[in-house]
């Protein structure tokens, strides 16, 4: 599946570039105590080996920053640091990292009398002097209080977007373009909406995607996957992080999950009905998991792909889902949907149930419905 990416600008982070036509970069973060240099270096290496393009190190104070210096000496990974509430930490950490992230909502905690624009100018100056990229990281839970006060308390999206745009404008007014933006929430539907709306307004700015507090696998991966499927299939997203609650040694699972989600989206193995923006046949089949009740599902998904090849030029979406947990809901948005039970496969047309058929009969039933759809499209010209 050739997914058309948004025409974002290219941003260099150490040895890699994100945006434009560059591959979507996968990030993670160390969860060790940063001052335990050996453990943090070991975890950085483990993340790199798992395929991390960027590794974030937690730095909360000057002792962590001191440790960062030594960590930098022991790894060539692309490193990033989150400034958290102390934006002045920028000058201490920037010499040792490739990207610094600041949260517009956190710029109020120190030096309250100083305008935020001055603080941003300072961060940009430090980034320029140290060859660093910047991420403007907006979080639903810590949005700029002035922005939150301007909008209805129920509307968490508008303040996030306004805050992000304001900071993009500020960085650009300083002639600094080496930045990306993230807009995160713990609700995947909000992550989808806020990123879609931002990408419409500023399609040239690379986006870092993530769902905060996603939780433990498999649920944390599923939540994140839903958001990424809907965004990446539409060309939105230049770098990703899957945030998982896992024991320390398992941190590389974040990278494995991220890479798995990306390759599944590219292959059409998705859990939600995804519009890839194609005007041709769109076949999606879930990646399968422990909930599959009949192994014949995997073979069926393959057979559906082969059998429907003759319809490749028609604008039709067919979804093949592996179980009764997600299948009934997830097939609602497809033109033709199949979801597999232990002995029967359920067939739906635009959300309407057409019946349950044995595995050896379903392909014929599907072909009948597909031909009818093709006739309708031909008749409509």
- CB 250 to ligand SF4: min, Å: 21
Footprint of ligand SF4 on 316-375 (CB under 6 A): 321-323, 325-327
Q: Which is nearer to ligand SF4, 77 or 301 (CB)?
A: 301
Q: Does 291 bind ligand SF4 (CB under 6 A)?
A: yes
- CB 319 to ligand SF4: min, Å: 9
Q: Does 267 bind ligand SF4 (CB under 6 A)?
A: no
- CB 321 to ligand SF4: min, Å: 4
Residues 6+ apart with CB under 8 A from 361: none
Long-range interactions of 145-153: CB distance < 8 A, separation 24+: 145/105, 145/108
- CB 272 to ligand SF4: min, Å: 9
- CB 301 to ligand SF4: min, Å: 10
- CB 302 to ligand SF4: min, Å: 15
One residue of 215, 235, 260, 287 binding ligand SF4 per CB under 6 A? 287
CB 316 within 8 A of CB 370: yes
CA torsion 300→309→331→271, rounded to 10°? 70
With contacts defined by CB under 6 A, name the span among 50-58, 120-128, 134-142, 285-293 that binds ligand SF4: 285-293
Element (H, E) at 106: none
Q: Which is nearer to ligand SF4, 42 or 356 (CB)?
A: 356
Q: What are phi and psi of 286, to 5 degrees?
A: -65, 155
One residue of 271, 314, 337, 338 binding ligand SF4 per CB under 6 A? 271
Neighbours of 36 (CB within 10 A): 13
Residues 6+ apart with CB under 8 A from 268: 1, 274, 276, 282, 283, 284, 285
Q: Which is nearer to ligand SF4, 25 or 338 (CB)?
A: 338
Q: Does 292 bind ligand SF4 (CB under 6 A)?
A: yes
Q: How many whole angstroms separate alpha carbon 222 and alpha carbon 216?
A: 10
One residue of 121, 170, 288, 377 binding ligand SF4 per CB under 6 A? 288
Distance set, CA 253 to CA 186, 260, 326 (Å)? 19, 10, 24
Write out the two tokens for 50. Answer: 């798992």
With contacts defined by CB under 6 A, name the span among 123-131, 172-180, 228-236, 289-297 that binds ligand SF4: 289-297
With contacts defined by CB under 6 A, name the span among 81-89, 280-288, 341-349, 373-381 that binds ligand SF4: 280-288
Q: How many whole angstroms separate alpha carbon 248 and alpha carbon 34?
A: 13
Tell me the longest C-alpha to C-alpha distance in the chain: 72
Q: How many CA atoms lie within 13 A of 236 on its CB side?
A: 26
Q: Which is nearer to ligand SF4, 168 or 226 (CB)?
A: 226
Binding residues (CB under 6 A) for ligand SF4: these are: 271, 286-289, 291-292, 321-323, 325-327
């Amino acid at each position: 599946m050739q997914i058309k990416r948004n025409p974002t600008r290219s941003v260099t982070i150490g040895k890699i570039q994100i945006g434009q036509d560059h591959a979507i970069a996968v990030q993670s973060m160390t969860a060790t105590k940063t001052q335990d240099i050996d453990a943090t270096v070991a975890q950085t290496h483990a993340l790199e080996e798992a395929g991390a393009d960027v590794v974030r190190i937690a730095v909360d104070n000057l002792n962590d920053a001191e440790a960062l210096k030594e960590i930098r000496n022991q790894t060539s990974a692309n490193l990033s640091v989150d400034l958290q509430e102390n934006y002045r930490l920028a000058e201490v950490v920037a010499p040792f990292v490739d990207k610094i992230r600041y949260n517009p909502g956190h710029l109020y905690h120190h030096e309250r009398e100083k305008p935020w624009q001055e603080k941003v100018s300072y961060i940009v100056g430090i980034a320029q002097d140290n060859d660093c990229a910047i991420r403007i990281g907006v979080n639903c839970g810590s949005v700029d209080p002035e922005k939150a006060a301007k909008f209805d308390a129920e509307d968490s999206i508008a303040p996030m977007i306004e805050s992000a745009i304001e900071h993009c404008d500020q960085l650009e007014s300083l002639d600094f373009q080496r930045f990306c933006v993230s807009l995160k929430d713990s609700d995947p539907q909000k992550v989808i909406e806020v990123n879609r709306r931002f990408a419409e307004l500023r399609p040239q700015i690379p986006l870092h995607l993530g769902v905060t507090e996603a939780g433990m696998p498999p649920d944390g991966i599923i939540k994140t996957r839903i958001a990424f499927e809907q965004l990446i299939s539409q060309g939105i997203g230049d770098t990703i992080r899957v945030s998982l609650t896992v024991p320390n040694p398992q941190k590389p699972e974040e990278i494995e999950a991220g890479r798995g989600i990306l390759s599944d989206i590219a292959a059409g193995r998705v859990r939600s009905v995804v519009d890839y923006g194609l005007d041709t046949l769109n076949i999606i089949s879930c990646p399968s998991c422990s909930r599959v009740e009949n192994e014949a599902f995997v073979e069926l998904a393959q057979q559906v792909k082969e059998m429907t090849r003759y319809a490749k030029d028609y604008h039709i979406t067919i979804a093949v889902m592996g179980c009764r947990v997600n299948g009934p809901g997830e097939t609602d948005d497809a033109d033709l949907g199949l979801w597999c039970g232990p002995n029967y496969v359920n067939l739906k047309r635009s959300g309407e149930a057409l019946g349950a058929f044995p595995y050896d009969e379903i392909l014929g039933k599907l072909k009948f419905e597909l031909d009818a759809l093709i006739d309708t499209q031909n008749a409509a010209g």
